Chains A and B, each alone.
Chain A
């Protein structure tokens, strides 16, 4: 530990390694946004309720606001920026747009992470039911479009992925 409560950390974000000293009290969300400029990770409530700051930590969705940057030392993180190249929406993003599953878009990065996690589970052999898809997505809040289009998009993506994996 260095002076003023700062801790040296090394994290891999979207495949790149970053080193730096961070204050112990800095959240991973603040670290991603303020230090790395990855502002696609949004901060809504900042206390774990809303899910707009969901990122992948070791391939599992994680609230970046409920995790300290120092806890991410030596970990692999993927943010919304790492899920598709700039200007080229991923399949998940394209499907959400087609279903009108976003209006202001503030919660969308968090939902994209959740849907990608769901699809990764499908790849591992899970066959989520409609109810399980809804339970998975209840991790995030959306305040404008309503959840029906988001769930419809997720159901379509899951069905497509299951069909793809059969081929």
Chain B
């Protein structure tokens, strides 16, 4: 047995989970699929006093799409979402989910768990900032909504407090005529932790694009959206010069770090290439 000892509690209701979480917020971790948490426990990078398993809580298994959005409960696995017809209309998310981890980790790992863990290169976080939406956090102090713009604070840090349970995430449904593309770069192919993840969406109206959104995340850089000054120029034209200018201007603002795999500068150059490639793919959809 490799993890340090801890106590385990399978909560039956959200109230129970919140009460228990509130009792020792600092020493308690929420356990859903465990695909991010258990490796940290095994390496003893985390030594919580107690785990609260939330997967037995019925209300957290909700997965449904409405006319305006997609709701995903904290216990919904990535694989369940991937196989659901509900996500087909959420372009970038539908493209990204099959690339998350491996099929075996997607069978257990949850959408909300990935968001809470906030690995900056993770696919789902980039999808959340690009699609937009909000996270519902509950605690004994009440319920609050955290907008996707304010959810990620830094790599591996979110706006969730220690005593809060990430209850549900809501993704905005892309408007009519909106298309989107997701891509990532890995060293050993699908299943590897990406060096970076990127997504773009835009609305095609007539022969022009409007509402271009670009999101990128990778080591050192939490998932972020390109500023409107950068994307505004793309509404007028998606020619090579505009695409090149936008991807360079955006990448210049990104604060990647280097690691054992690649340097920070390499990540920045990858961001330029990948964002440029995604924008050119958008251009192909123009009539």
Contact = CB atoms under 8 A, between A and B. Distances in A.
Interface of A: 1, 5, 7, 23-27, 30, 46-48, 51, 54, 57, 60-63, 65-68, 70-71, 73, 114, 117, 135-136, 138-140
Interface string B1-32: 11111111110000000000000000000010
Nearest to A118: B103
Given A24-B8, A60-B79, A139-B191, A47 B51 contact: no
Given A47-B38, A70-B8, 7 more contacts: A25-B3, A25-B41, A30-B1, A48-B38, A63-B104, A63-B105, A67-B38
A36 to B, nearest CB: 15
Interface in B48-101: 51, 53, 55, 79, 98
Interface in B163-197: 189-191
B188 to A, nearest CB: 9
A24 B51 contact: yes
A contact patch SS: mixed
B1 A136 contact: no
Contact of A1 (B9, B41, B79): B9
Contacts of B38: 27, 47-48, 65-68
A117 B55 CA distance: 23
Nearest to A49: B39
B187 to A, nearest CB: 13
Given A71-B55, A139-B191, A47 B42 contact: yes
B6 A138 contact: no
29 contacts: A5-B6, A24-B51, A25-B1, A25-B3, A25-B4, A25-B5, A25-B6, A25-B41, A30-B1, A47-B39, A47-B42, A48-B39, A51-B102, A51-B104, A57-B107, A61-B103, A63-B35, A63-B105, A66-B34, A67-B38, A67-B108, A68-B51, A70-B8, A71-B31, A117-B103, A135-B191, A138-B189, A139-B102, A139-B103
A162 B51 CA distance: 44
Interface hub of B39, B79, B104 (most chain A Cβ within 10 A) = B104
A51 B101 CA distance: 12
Chain B, interface size category, equals 20 to 34
Interface hub of B8, B35, B51, B98 (most chain A Cβ within 10 A) = B8
Contacts of B144: none
Contacts of A26: 1
Given A1-B7, A27-B1, A138 B108 contact: no
Contacts of B43: 47
A73 B31 CA distance: 14
Nearest to B7: A5
Contacts of B1: 23, 25-27, 30
Nearest to A137: B103
Contacts of A23: 1, 5
Contacts of A27: 1-2, 38
Contact of B34 (A30, A61, A68, A114): A68
A5 B107 contact: no
Contacts of A24: 5-8, 51
A105 to B, nearest CB: 19
A66 B31 CA distance: 12
A111 to B, nearest CB: 11
B204 to A, nearest CB: 28
B60 to A, nearest CB: 15
Contacts of B35: 48, 63, 66
